[in-house]
């Protein structure tokens, strides 16, 4: 995969080699994210950060990643007052707005909108989430986190056993992550969800076609020797009826007691965030906050590294980042 000048629209664009390239560059970004030094490689470059649908953390993560490479950020949030709302085509919007920046990150509520937009853009476009369709940087940061966490325990992605829990039907993140995992070897999926929210057949076929194994379960029972437990939120409005929802309420949550009972002591806990902290819906209990295997905040930190890597690669500066190193003078909590 050629990165320079390319759009990043879908996980389907990636092969194993290109994923490893992203992760190598992300690894190089660690000292900048930790404020051990800084780079000005993109000084003078402008990111157009277009969030036609709000998402604070994804938006700020992209902006911060670009700032950490030395660039500037021009931001747009919301759609109610935009030209799109007045009937302008995505093509026109792209033709105009791509004149204002060197690269564009875009979130939009409609499936396919970012790809359509990219056809009018003269600068690279990175998909920051287009409705139920794709959110490739989330999938890449999830996979990057898995690799880092496994490496810490002496393992690697090949041979991984991952448990996915909760809403596997509507959870965009688990679909994309599954597709990326299919590019590796000998993966085992344990898929735990209510029947109504089971993993779609298309993903199951992809897993099987790639030669991997999966087990489907409707309850957390027995012992899972999973390396990773990827938890998601079950939204009750996804069920056909409240009766159905009540049936499953609380059955797919995770807390320290459930973790100890069903998982290995080294199983890494992941979640795409935000998690609901209100009592009735807490799919991931706060009593796990002190568990060293809770990787949810390492995931968001890794998101900055992966987004820096994608910016560097699409703008063709990945090999010269350190040529623009400067010292950091200020207090850093990182």
Name which of residues 50 to 69 contact its own copies (CB under 8 A).
Answer: 54-57, 60-61, 63-64, 67-68
The distance of closest approach from Cβ of residue 190 to its own copies in the complex, given in angstroms and rounded to an integer, is 26
Q: Which range of residues in 49-57, 145-153, 166-174, 262-270 is near its own copies by CB under 8 A?
A: 49-57
Q: Which range of residues in 76-84, 165-173, 192-200, 218-226 is near its own copies by CB under 8 A?
A: 76-84
Name which of residues 251 to 310 contact its own copies (CB under 8 A).
Answer: 273-278, 281, 286, 289, 297, 300-301, 304
Name which of residues 181 to 210 contact its own copies (CB under 8 A).
Answer: none
For residue 79, give every residue at least 6 positions away whose Cβ sits within 8 Å of its Cβ, in sequence order, or none: 52, 53, 85, 108, 109
Q: Are strands 72-77 and 46-51 parallel, antiparallel or unpaired?
A: parallel
- Report the DSSP beta bridge partners of residue 231: 165
Integer-rounded Cα radius of gyration of the chain: 20
Q: Does 28 bind its own copies (CB under 8 A)?
A: no
Among 2, 17, 86, 265, binds its own copies (CB under 8 A): 86
- The smaller minimum CB distance to its own copies, of residues 44 and 240, is found at 44
Q: Which range of residues in 122-130, 172-180, 204-212, 261-269 is near its own copies by CB under 8 A?
A: 122-130
Buried/exposed code over 109-143 (b: 16+ C-beta within 10 A; e: otherwise): eeeebbbbbbebbebbbbbbbbbebbbbbbbbbbb
Among 24, 109, 122, 213, binds its own copies (CB under 8 A): 122
Among 123, 220, 270, 306, binds its own copies (CB under 8 A): 123
Distance CA 164, CA 193 (A): 8
Q: Does 329 bind its own copies (CB under 8 A)?
A: yes
Q: Are strands 161-165 and 268-270 parallel, antiparallel or unpaired?
A: unpaired
CA-CA-CA-CA dihedral for 200, 201, 203, 207, to nearest 10:
140
The distance of closest approach from Cβ of residue 99 to its own copies in the complex, given in angstroms and rounded to an integer, is 5
Distance CA 43, CA 275 (A): 36
CA distances from 324 to 4, 21, 66 (A): 19, 21, 15
Q: Which range of residues in 70-78, 147-155, 183-191, 218-226 is near its own copies by CB under 8 A?
A: 70-78
Q: Does 99 bind its own copies (CB under 8 A)?
A: yes
Distance CA 230, CA 294 (A): 11
Among 42, 106, 163, 180, binds its own copies (CB under 8 A): 42
């Amino acid at each position: 995969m050629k990165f320079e000048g390319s759009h990043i629209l879908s996980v389907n664009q990636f092969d194993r080699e290109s994923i490893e390239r992203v992760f190598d560059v992300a690894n190089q970004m660690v000292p900048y994210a930790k404020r051990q030094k800084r780079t000005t490689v993109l000084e003078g470059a402008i990111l157009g950060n277009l969030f036609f649908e709000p998402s604070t953390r994804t938006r700020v993560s992209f902006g911060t990643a670009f700032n950490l490479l030395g660039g500037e950020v021009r931001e747009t949030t919301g759609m109610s007052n935009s030209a799109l709302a007045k009937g302008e085509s995505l093509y026109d919007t792209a033709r105009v707005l791509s004149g204002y920046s060197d690269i564009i990150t875009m979130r939009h509520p409609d499936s396919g909108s970012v790809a359509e937009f990219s056809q009018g853009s003269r600068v690279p476009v990175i998909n920051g989430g287009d409705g139920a369709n794709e959110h490739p940087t989330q999938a890449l940061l999830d996979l990057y986190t898995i690799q880092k966490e496994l490496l810490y325990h002496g393992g690697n992605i090949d041979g991984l056993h991952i448990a996915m829990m909760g809403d596997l039907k509507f959870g965009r993140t688990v679909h994309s992550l599954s597709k990326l995992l299919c590019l590796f070897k000998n993966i085992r999926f344990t898929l735990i969800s209510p029947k109504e929210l089971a993993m779609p057949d298309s993903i199951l076929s992809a897993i099987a076609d790639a030669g991997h194994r999966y087990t489907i379960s409707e309850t957390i029972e027995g012992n899972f020797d999973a390396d990773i437990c990827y938890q998601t939120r079950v939204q009750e409005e996804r069920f056909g009826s409240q009766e159905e929802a009540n049936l499953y309420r609380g059955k797919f949550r995770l807390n320290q007691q459930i973790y100890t009972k069903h998982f290995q002591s080294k199983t890494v806990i992941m979640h795409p965030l935000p998690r609901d902290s209100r009592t009735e819906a807490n799919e991931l209990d706060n009593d796990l906050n002190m568990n060293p295997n809770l990787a949810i905040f390492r995931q968001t930190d890794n998101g900055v590294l992966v987004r820096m890597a994608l910016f560097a690669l699409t703008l063709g500066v990945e090999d010269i980042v350190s040529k623009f190193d400067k010292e950091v003078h200020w207090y850093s909590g990182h």
